[in-house]
Structure formats: structure tokens, C-alpha cells
Chains A and B, each alone.
Chain A
């Protein structure tokens, strides 16, 4: 089975800190995604990547950046954490040939910014 591993299940950070959320997949998937999930707002796409060193903005990229230096790892960076970035963060991956495949999600990181 494909596994997508997010480094932390729960994280508490202070306002203004730089925060790194790590995501690693083990099945050589080209496409990787970062979503945040908030009550009443569903899942919203922050950034995605089609390949190493490639990145595309999603619907809500402000306040975030990403890094994909290796195919298996996609990192989400909160440059200066703010309380409105308290959320559940979900990483997902998918192979090319996307018409036939769903996403594989990690277990999520619940981030609290205080």
C-alpha cells in the first residue's frame, strides 16, 4: 500500500514562528498536494507540485510556501505563523495518469498557533 507520512500529528507553535510541516510518500508519485481543512470551509488547496522543484499555487497560498527538493518529500512552510493558520493540514499524493487514480492522504497534522 502507498503510504503518505506526515511528520507530526499535533503541533503547537507560537505566533511569528517559522513552521515546517513535512510530508513523505513512498510510492514514487509525481503529484503532491497540501490542503487545509477547517469546519464549515471544507478542504482548501494551498499548494501542489507536479514534480521535483515544481510548485503551483492553490486557492489559498498566502502566508505559505513549499519546497520539493526530492520526489518523495513535499514540505509546507508557514513563514510567520499566525493564529488564523490554526487548522488541520492534510498532505496527499497521486501518480501521473491522474484520470484513473484517487489521492492517498496522510493522517493529517493538527496545528495550533498560540
Chain B
């Protein structure tokens, strides 16, 4: 079953704008991760946030985690056309070493 659910399913913005994607999940987690997938390719790991962390930064990426609401957000600042891709959240549950992925947000950044 899909643990994470991303919102929105699709997002279209102009270059230079910020993009925010949200993820909700259902059960307890050890960590939450965000991945990017360019069309027809494999996923690339972007950032991992542990359950005891509230915010994490990596370059133009900012991730927040609210375990009380079982939700996370990914913010991409100053977006570029090259950021056009699908973005997935994935949760690492407490029961074992496997990730459960959401269905992704398709981000389009228009030049």
C-alpha cells in the first residue's frame, strides 16, 4: 500500500519562483526521504530527514517534517527549467528496511 501521498499531483511554475510540494503519510516512521525522477529515468535521492528533525536544508532544497501531523513539505527555491521532474516522498517505517513511496508530484518549470 502507498504510505506517502503527495500534493499537488502536478505543479507548473515560472523559472525563478519557489515550488512547494507536500507529502502526508499514515504510520510511524524512522525517516522521510525525497527523490527526483527525470522522465523515463531512475530516481535520485535528494534529502533525508529523520523523525526527530523538523527542518533540513540542502542547497536550494528545504524540507520540513511535522510528525504530529504526519506530513512533510519540500521547498525548491529559485526554480530552474532543469528542475522539471517528478518528485517523490518515501517513508522508512519502523518495522523494516524498506521504503514506501508516494505517487509523486510532476513539477514543470517554464523558462
Contact = CB atoms under 8 A, between A and B. Distances in A.
Interface of A: 4, 6, 31, 33, 35, 40-43, 45, 48, 50, 58-59, 88, 90, 92, 94, 98-108, 110
B40 A98 contact: no
A31 B48 contact: no
Interface residues of B, number: 25
29 contacts: A6-B42, A31-B97, A33-B98, A35-B101, A42-B2, A43-B43, A43-B88, A45-B100, A48-B98, A59-B1, A88-B40, A90-B42, A98-B92, A99-B31, A100-B31, A101-B48, A102-B33, A102-B45, A103-B33, A103-B43, A105-B35, A105-B44, A105-B45, A106-B42, A107-B41, A107-B42, A108-B40, A108-B41, A108-B42
Contacts of B41: 107-108
A100 B40 CA distance: 27
B71 to A, nearest CB: 18
Nearest to B99: A103
Interface of B: 1-2, 30-31, 33, 35, 40-45, 48, 50, 88, 90, 92, 97-104
Contacts of A107: 41-42
Contacts of B92: 98-99
A27 to B, nearest CB: 14
Contacts of B43: 43, 90, 92, 103, 105
A39 to B, nearest CB: 9
B28 to A, nearest CB: 13
A102 B40 contact: no
A111 B92 CA distance: 28
Contact of B50 (A99, A103, A106): A99
